[in-house]
Amino acid sequence: MKLLFVADPLESFKAYKDTTYTMMREAQRRGYTVAACEPRHLRWQAGQPVQAQVRDIRLTGDESHWFAEAATREAALASFDAVLMRKDPPFDAEFIYATHLMEQAEREGARVVNRPQALRNHPEKLAVMEFQQFLGPTLVTRSPEDVKRFHAEHGEIVLKPLDGMGGMGIFRVGPDGLNLGSITETLNHHGATTFMVQKFLPEITAGDKRIIIIDGQPAPFVLARIPQGSEVRGNLAVGGKGVAQPLSDTDRATALAVGRVLAPRGLLLIGLDIIGTRITEINVTSPTGFREIMDQTGCDVPALYVDALEKVVGR
């Protein structure tokens, strides 16, 4: 099987913790070939298929110098058995343009995972709206007045941009409302940008749980990302401690409910975030957590994923 990963620059990978790297490693272990490109390398010209300048690579087994490049060439996306979209957010206009190009590649016969239309239709913060039965109090707005009313009702809140990742741009405001106006102006760019506000969930002290859902089924372990020190964010990118834990019955039921809806739409891989029993985000662009769960529990999440990918491709 020939795989193309559309991702961030290979040189930026931290192989010791990168989920895309674990996918590539498992694919190569099974004898599959691996190539990579960035979204900026995609192109289409009338009368020709969607193509990209791709890098054929071989994983070395040395995580400090984790890949060797065999060749750089032009290739049609449809010439691969599967194209894996693994570009990190932001979910911006360029990301959307990339999904349109890959959707055209689908029309030419490419098999893209996760499906481009599904990626476009499920922005990671807003996808939660479909599952209100599992949400805590949540507001999406650009109005300062809406935010003030929400804060007055709930006392302690969290504000976040809709296109961020890794905990960037997240603010906590206490009952005193200190700096609420300034934070609102920062996030809504003086009324020009929509953002999200959620009631603060004190269960964050036990971790922001990342549940990996593969083809609608949750992995048996979750990664609880626990804030450290005075930090309110559990994201690993801002210093949270990742602790793998068995999936609880309550979280399994929630994950299955989400998976039953989203997997048939072409979302083979979902990263569901839960604090306490409440969904906070549904990550579909490039969910992470494989490596930490595998290292701590022995659960081979990359193998579970490539098993599911083989079913999609028909291998």
Concerning whether 115 is annotated as a catalytic residue, the answer is no
Separation of CA 264 from chain center: 18
Concerning whether 160 is annotated as a catalytic residue, the answer is yes
The two beta strands, 221-226 and 208-214, are antiparallel
Concerning whether 125 is annotated as a catalytic residue, the answer is yes
Concerning whether 233 is annotated as a catalytic residue, the answer is yes
Q: Which position among 233, 251, 291, 292 bears the catalytic label? A: 233
Q: Which position among 25, 87, 283, 291 bears the catalytic label? A: 283
Q: Which position among 55, 86, 115, 160 bears the catalytic label? A: 160
d(CA 271, CA 274): 10
Q: Which position among 208, 281, 291, 292 bears the catalytic label? A: 281
Q: Which position among 86, 209, 225, 278 bears the catalytic label? A: 225
Q: What is the gyration radius of the CA atoms in the chain, in angstroms?
A: 20
Tokens 């049609």 belong to residue: 76
Concerning whether 2 is annotated as a catalytic residue, the answer is no
Q: Which position among 86, 125, 278, 291 bears the catalytic label? A: 125
Q: How is the beta sheet containing 138-141 ordered, strand by strand? A: 138-141, 195-199, 157-161, 171-173
**CB-CB neighbours of 299 under 10 Å:** 18
User: ω before 114 within 30° of 0 (cis)?
Assistant: yes
Concerning whether 149 is annotated as a catalytic residue, the answer is no
Concerning whether 43 is annotated as a catalytic residue, the answer is no
Q: Two tokens at 200?
A: 């603060």
Concerning whether 124 is annotated as a catalytic residue, the answer is no
Q: Which position among 115, 210, 278, 291 bears the catalytic label? A: 210
Q: Two tokens at 291?
A: 């490596």
Residues annotated as catalytic are 125, 160, 210, 225, 233, 273, 281, 283
